[in-house]
């Protein structure tokens, strides 16, 4: 069973930064009426953390894993997601679920938690809020070479899809 660690913090992300073009990996959804929480960044990485001043640091982003044979286990990885939400959604508990699915659609791993963002006292009034979620997964089991995906959901709505390919490493 993989061991899991999770770090989530909040900070302000202004619309100006979004309009300048944040790097986005994966498939992201748009908001439904009454729920503006969206994933503005989603990536698989070797390492990620958030600094004391709120900067998100990501190292080794990937979408392909090579192994000499299958089944295989990937030793360590991070699922990194930045969510943006309207201040009206602050202090509301949101059900976070991250699923790992095989190419046949079968759920191989499911992780659930609660995400709740609070407004800091120094936050400018009315600006969009953001939070970073970093999920560490150790020993991810890959039963066969092929296509996999991580599905990130808030309150049952898909917010991001992160594809992952598992390939047999060619002999050298």
Q: Which CATH number belongs to the domain containing residue 140 in this structure?
A: 2.60.40.2550
**Residue located via tokens 């046949």:** 104
- Domain enclosing residue 15, as ranges: 3-168
Provide CB contacts within 8 A for 125, sequence distance 6+: 87
Q: How far, in Å, CA of 169 to CA of 66, rounded?
A: 5
Provide CB contacts within 8 A for 110, sequence distance 6+: 97, 98, 99, 100
pTM of the model: 0.76
Q: What is the pLDDT of residues 97-107, one digit of tens each?
A: 999 999 999 99
How many domains in the chain?
1
Handedness of CA 13, 18, 21, 25 (dihedral sign): positive
Q: What is the pLDDT of residues 11-33, one digit of tens each?
A: 222 223 333 343 333 333 344 44
The predicted structure's pLDDT at residue 130:
86
* Lowest-pLDDT choice from 3-7, 112-116, 139-143: 3-7
Q: What is the pLDDT of residues 71-92, one digit of tens each?
A: 999 999 999 999 998 888 888 8
């Amino acid at each position: 069973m993989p061991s899991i660690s999770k770090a989530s913090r909040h900070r302000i992300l202004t619309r100006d930064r979004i309009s300048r073009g944040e790097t986005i990996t994966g498939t992201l959804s748009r908001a439904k009426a009454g729920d503006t929480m969206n994933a503005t960044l989603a990536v698989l990485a070797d390492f990620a953390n958030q600094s004391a001043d709120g900067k998100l640091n990501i190292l080794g982003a990937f979408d392909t894993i090579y192994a000499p044979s299958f089944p295989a286990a990937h030793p360590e990885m991070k699922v990194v997601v930045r969510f943006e939400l309207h201040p009206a959604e602050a202090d509301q508990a949101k059900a976070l679920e991250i699923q790992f699915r095989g190419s046949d659609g079968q759920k191989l791993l499911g992780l659930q938690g609660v995400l709740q963002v609070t407004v800091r006292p120094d936050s400018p009034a009315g600006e969009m809020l953001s939070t970073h979620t970093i999920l560490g997964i150790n020993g991810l089991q890959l039963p066969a070479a092929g296509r996999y995906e991580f599905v990130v959901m808030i309150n049952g709505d898909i917010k991001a899809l992160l594809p992952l390919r598992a390939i047999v490493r060619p002999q050298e």
